[in-house]
Amino acid sequence: MEEDELGRGSEIIKETLDRPSILKNEAALSIDYIPANLPHREEKLRFLAQLFRFTLENPGSMNQKVLITGKIGTGKTAVSQRFGTDLVKIAKSRKINLRYIHVNCRECRGSLFLILKRALAEFVPSFPQRGYSSEELLQMLMDVLDKNNAFVILALDELESLIRAEGGTPLYNLTRIQEGRLDRPMRLSLICILRQPEYLKRLDSSTIGTLQHNIVQMDPYSIEQLTAILEDRVRLSFREGTAPDESIRFIAELASTTGDARYAIELLWRSAKYADAEAKRELEPEHVRKAVSAVYPTIRGDYVKSLSRQERITLLAITRALESSGSAYVTMGEIEKAYRIVCEELRETPRAHTQLWKFVRELSASGIIEAKKSGKGIRGRTTMVGLTMTSASAMRKWLEFSFAGQDKEPRKEFF
């Protein structure tokens, strides 16, 4: 063991740790973080507040059943948790014993028994573990609520798991529990969170009717909405001036194909990590591209190999243009300039403009690059080309290898 080696290693670690990160609060980018503001979901919060206003104005007078549905990353969990947490705070200030209990059915392996056990644990930290059915547990929960004069909003997140494991009976029992206690206050409300509405078909018609009465539909976020969400998160987590609009917009654009805020925030976090790893002072589109290829490793080396020589040359020109511009997208003009240089290096006769156009279109059709019309600028509309699936420098390096006749297997870290 050479001491010298050991010394250098710890120096690198120390150097890295000494360098300030562009992040000031990484926790605000974590999966579990529930921001105080949920841009573009204000209306949903307002609707939920309307539905549950009785819990503050006349607790026990009724119980509510709500269904939140929408695709992945549309804010179902975040909205429910934000709403529940804030409502409980307000209830507390009014001396109402309201609890919001958020249970992920998947984590409870779709078992009503485990779900109710979690709920009960809010009131009785230790109760007999075995020997009860879930019906008995539900009764115990109601008794505890009576005893404490408490009210519960039980959020059943990822409800698919419960329905898949136990069918419609658990929900039937949960929504009907009050019928057996007609003279008692209504204490248990439900927020059901379901990504796939087709699961409703597995429930009995009266439960379906109950749930369909109050539906909160979450639509995928648009690019503008994602931009607002990202900007809000950047304010909380990035140091001042380290996340340029262009990079944020680029992330929003990438995530807007699915409208998934989770993907957007994950990209934001990962690209910050790449920026830090390169000791950069700000988030560059290149870091975002790297993050994309880490999150969705979709480009396969063999795919790039199947491209024609001219297509590879065009791709190399695009990656170089992207790298030297430092932007998310480059114009056809910039590509053409880079293309001529690459052709010269490789002793190829550059093809005419229309041919180059064809290569770009083909690369775009295969999904390896994205070509889009720019907004109306000074010079009118122009085609903007970007590379979305992997980082430009990784792609460039591999293409350069391949032209140098060294293309064995593309190195894994490039893709």
Candidate ranges 39-47, 207-215, 309-317, 357-365; the one touching ligand ADP (CB under 6 A): 39-47
Q: Which does 12 bind (CB under 5 to 8 A by kind): ligand ADP, Mg ion, none?
A: none
User: How many residues belong to the site for ligand ADP (CB under 6 A)?
Assistant: 19
- Residues 218-237, interacting with ligand ADP (CB under 6 A): 229
Which residue number, 73 or 285, has a Cβ lying nearer to ligand ADP?
Answer: 73
Q: Is 77 in the site for Mg ion (CB under 5 A)?
A: yes
Q: Is 74 in the site for ligand ADP (CB under 6 A)?
A: yes
Candidate ranges 38-46, 159-167, 290-298, 390-398; the one touching ligand ADP (CB under 6 A): 38-46
* Residues 6+ away with beta carbon under 8 Å from 98: 55, 56, 59, 87, 88, 91, 92, 150, 151, 152, 153
Quick check: helix, strand or coil at residue 189? strand
- In one-letter notation, the amino acid at residue 86 is D
Q: How many of the other CB atoms lie within 10 Å of CB of 1?
A: 5
- Residues 262-291, interacting with ligand ADP (CB under 6 A): 262, 265
Q: Which does 124 bind (CB under 5 to 8 A by kind): ligand ADP, Mg ion, none?
A: none
Backbone angles phi, psi at 258, to 5 degrees: -110, -15
Residue for token pair 């001396």: 95
Nearest alpha-carbon partner for 122 in 65, 83, 84, 166: 84
Q: Is 27 in the site for ligand ADP (CB under 6 A)?
A: no
Query: What span, in angstroms and rounded, lies between the C-alpha atoms of 311 and 309?
Result: 5
The residue number whose beta carbon is nearest to ligand ADP equals 75
Candidate ranges 3-11, 15-23, 65-73, 273-281; the one touching ligand ADP (CB under 6 A): 65-73
Q: Which does 360 bind (CB under 5 to 8 A by kind): ligand ADP, Mg ion, none?
A: none
Name which position in 72, 90, 124, 279 contacts ligand ADP (CB under 6 A).
Answer: 72
Least distance from ligand ADP to the Cβ atom of residue 168, Å: 23
Name which position in 64, 77, 247, 314 contacts ligand ADP (CB under 6 A).
Answer: 77
Q: Is 81 in the site for Mg ion (CB under 5 A)?
A: no
Least distance from Mg ion to the Cβ atom of residue 74, Å: 9
Backbone angles phi, psi at 67, to 5 degrees: -115, 120
- Give the torsion sign (CA, 160, 166, 171, 174): negative
Tokens of 304: 């790039």
How many C-alpha atoms does 102 have within 13 Å on its Cβ side?
16
Q: In what order do the strands lie in the sheet with 370-373?
A: 329-331, 383-386, 370-373
Quick check: helix, strand or coil at residue 326? coil
Residues near ligand ADP (CB under 6 A) are: 31, 34-35, 38-41, 70, 72-78, 229, 261-262, 265
Residues near Mg ion (CB under 5 A) are: 76-77
